[in-house]
Structures are given as structure tokens and as C-alpha cells.
Amino acid sequence: MILFVAKPDRAATLQASRCDLAVSNSMWLLTHPEGRPGSLRPGPLLAWGATALLLALILLGSVNCAQAQATATVNWNPSPSGGVTGYKVYYGLLSGVYTASVAAGNTTSVTLTGLVPGTTIYVAATALAGNAESALSGEVVYPVPAGRPAPSLSFAAISGSFTQPFVAVGGVLYQPLETTLALSGQATYDFTITTPGQYIVTSMVYAPDAGANSAFVNIDSQPTDPLMIWDVSISTNFVQQTVTWRDGLARHIFNLSAGNHQLIVRGREAGTQFATFTISPADATLQLSRLPGGQAALTGMAKVGHTYTVQASTNLQKWASIGTVTVDNTGNFQFIDPTSTTLKSRFYRFME
């Protein structure tokens, strides 16, 4: 996997997506007359009588991002046998268990619609001659490509509406004193979700010690004490962290419908400092943002324990490895480029 990111003037988000590409998965699969695997070869693909249908299926799939559904087109060679009046394609989510079928007529192609991105379908076909139907062909396994992740939404912590005792200093939002929930400051951020689903909240946050590492966080309603306390991990600088609640889970998942929403952050301990907030789908994301000191921070979520090599370039032609980053046990990663403050522009890529 290669992810390209350009250095921005403000917080920006880039996500890897396969949705813009038609994904092909071509397979030749033949069945021996007794059901044993046959040789892989093109050519006339139909035999009647006691033998099973010999059929080569070719699948080309694509994802419709706007409608969050996928299609797969099945193609085959015409039968050389006489009397064939049409074909029928069967498919389902389990091998050998076909819960849907499409009558293709006397054509050699049919499109399967309404498929769920990220699932796997199993496809077989028969040939028709009047009221007679051949045995099923060999089975094709097709992983339906995943759709485009919903976009992440990022905003500066000081860009929302906030009340005292929250204060904004140097682009950072924090409370100078510890409070109860009832007396805490409140920061609110309005945002709109276009793709319903599961989302997480992350923040570029600095928690210097055990007395300055918590806040209350919720979406669309006031947070409650103590369940919705976010215990921020102590750090020596601003780092990207994922919001958790006191429910023992590694991250809190918000189920959001399409439409308008509001992130609500309430202060708790003095000195917990917030630079940015991001609403992201609960899957792999990559975000590039600028820290208060001007350094570029590459943060996001990916497979736990995976290590990427980070490379940088100023012209997209010559690349140099500048370090590695490993995804932590919560699924988060962060890489800070200390030399980015001296450069006019820089491009990054993560190499698997």
C-alpha cells in the first residue's frame, strides 16, 4: 500500500480508497464431469448429457460509492451445444449455498446488483434447454471490493463555541482549573455526516501529568459523569489520541446517522490541552495536520501491530526514508516530522 500526502497549510485528511477504481477479479474455473477440478483453459464451455456443465466465469466488479452498494458482471463463453435457450446464474454468501439467482436469457453476460461491499460472494451457473437445466458449473469466489470510507472531519479545538473556564491560548483550548461536570466549560462543534455508520473521535491532545489528563466527551447530548470521562494518556507533547469512555473499551464507537450532529466536550482536569478534533469512520484513516509548533504530524488508524516505512519527497520523484511507525494496540499511529518546519512543501508516503 502507498499513501501519498502533501504538506498542508492547515489540518487535512487523506484516506485510502478503492472506490474510484473498477476492481477486476477474473477467474477461470472448470469442473470435471465427476466433479473433480478440471484444467484451466479457455474455449467452448458447455456439455450436455451425463456430464456437469463446464463453464468459465469471469467477474468484473465495481463499487457505487454514493449508494454504498456494489455490482459484479459475470461473463462466459457461449455453448457450442445445440438447443441451448439461455443461462442462469446462482450466487450467495456461502460456498455451495446459493440464495439468489438471475435468469440471463440467451446471452453470455449478466450483472449482479445490490451486493454488499466488503463481503464475498460465491457464483455458479447452469445452461437451459427448454424446461431442462444442466448441473451447476464450478464455483467462482469473488471478494466484493470495499467501498470508499466516509470522509473524516477535522477542526481546530478553538474553532468551536466554548464557555468559561475554557480558554484559548496559542491555538490550544484548555481549562486552567479543575472542575466538576456541572461547573466545567463546554466546547461544541457542529458537523454534518453524509454517510451513516460507526465513527470515532480523535484529538491532537497534550496531557502533561496525572492531574491534567481527562475531559468529558459525547456527541449529540450532554456527557454524563463518570461513564463519559475520557482518561487521556499522559504524553510529553501533543499526540493524536482516540476518545474512550470508562467502559473498558479501547475506543468509543459512535453510531451516527446521516445529517447534522454536535460534538460536545466538557472540561474536567486543569491543563488538559486540545489542538484539534477529528470525526472519522471506525476504520483505517490517515490524517496530516500541523502541530502548534509548525511540525507536520501524520496520524491515523490501521491494523494493530502493523509497521510502515515513512518516506518523504519535495518533488515526488526522489524519495527518502525518514523513519518507521508502528500501529499501537488501540489501532492508532502517529509520526511527527521534525524537519518539516524548515521546508516550503513536502510530500509523504507510507510503504508497507
198 bridge partner residues: 255
pTM above 0.85, yes or no: no
40-44, 124-128, 296-300 — most confident range: 124-128
More confident residue, 75 or 51: 75
Q: Picking from 22-26, 82-86, 119-123, 162-166, which range would have the lowest pLDDT averaged per residue?
A: 22-26
Binning pLDDT at 50, 70 and 90, where does residue 42 land?
Answer: very low
Listed in sequence order, the residues at least 6 apart from 199 whose beta carbon sits closer than 8 Å to its beta carbon are 150, 193, 253, 254, 255, 256, 279, 280, 281, 282
Give the alpha-carbon dihedral of 156, 161, 163, 169, to 10 degrees: 30
What distance in Å separates the CA atoms of residue 161 and residue 41, rounded to the nearest whole number?
66
3-state secondary structure of 173: strand
What domains are there in the chain, each with its CATH number?
A: 2-15+150-351 (2.60.120.260), 23-143 (2.60.40.10)
Q: Of the candidates 168, 327, 171, which has an alpha carbon nearest to the alpha carbon of residue 238?
A: 171
Note the pLDDT of residue 303: 62
Give the alpha-carbon dihedral of 93, 98, 99, 101, to 10 degrees: 120
What distance in Å separates the CA atoms of residue 132 and residue 43, rounded to the nearest whole number?
23
CA triple 121-127-133, angle to 5 deg = 105
Where in 116-185 does DSSP place strands (E)?
120-129, 132-133, 140-143, 153-156, 161-162, 167-169, 172-174
112 bridge partner residues: 72
Listed in sequence order, the residues at least 6 apart from 173 whose beta carbon sits closer than 8 Å to its beta carbon are 157, 158, 162, 166, 167, 187, 273, 274, 275
Phi and psi, residue 134, nearest 5°: -75, 170
| pLDDT tens-digit readout, 195-212 | 777 789 999 999 999 999
**182, pLDDT greater than 70:** yes
Give the alpha-carbon dihedral of 72, 78, 83, 88, to 10 degrees: -10
Phi and psi, residue 166, nearest 5°: -60, 140
**33, pLDDT greater than 80:** no
Q: Residue 7 in contact with residue 339, Cβ under 8 Å?
A: no
More confident residue, 76 or 123: 123
3-state secondary structure of 229: strand
Amino acid at 273: Q
Note the pLDDT of residue 63: 45
Note the pLDDT of residue 226: 96
What distance in Å separates the CA atoms of residue 24 and residue 142, rounded to the nearest whole number?
10
3-state secondary structure of 157: helix
Work out the burial of residue 195: count CB atoms within 10 Å of its CB; fewer than 13 is exposed, 13-18 middle, 19 or more buried: middle
